[in-house]
Amino acid sequence: MPTVSPQDPALEPFDHEQFEQEVYELVRDTAPRLFAVVVEYRAGTKDADAAVAAWGLADASGGAEVIQIETGCRWRLAAPEHITRYFGRAEGCSPRLVWLTPPGVDGDVRDRVA
């Protein structure tokens, strides 16, 4: 489990701001990434449409937890991309992942899609 290393009190006085920055960086670097499973219908046509079918969290191990919106069905997968095999099996449908933040991006995620 990643941790923040304690500071050596013999070397310097405790720096609360530095510690808070290290904690923030730890959280940022280990946070799961949020993604949606989007199913596109009739992509590339004038009748194209899309719907969010599920939400997922990708963790540092490379795995993912996914929850289907409509049924609440849950999956634990070795890789986020594996979830697409469970959606879009009908003709004219294609599932894909839409990431809310690219890896290592900081700040407000509401304005970012990758």
At 103, the pLDDT band (50, 70, 90 cuts) reads: low
Per-residue pLDDT at 110 exceeds 70? no
Contact (CB, 8 A) for 39 and 88: yes
Annotated domain spans of the chain: 31-111
Tokens of 21: 């920055």
Using the predicted structure, report yes or no on whether residue 108 has a pLDDT greater than 80: no
Nearest to residue 74, comparing CAs of 52, 59, 57?
Answer: 57
pLDDT at site 71: 96
The pLDDT tens digits of the residues spanning 53-102 come to: 999 999 989 999 999 999 999 999 999 999 999 997 888 899 999 999 76
Q: Which residue has the tokens 């594996």?
A: 82
Average pLDDT score, the chain: 84
Residue 35 has pLDDT above 50, yes or no: yes
Instruction: Give the model's pLDDT for residue 49.
Output: 94
The residue assigned the tokens 């009739």 is 42
Measured CA to CA, the distance from residue 100 to residue 67 in angstroms comes to: 16
Going by pLDDT thresholds of 50, 70 and 90, the confidence category of residue 6 is low
Q: Rounded to a whole number, what is the largest CA-CA distance in the chain? A: 69
Q: How far is CA 70 from the centre of its chain?
A: 20
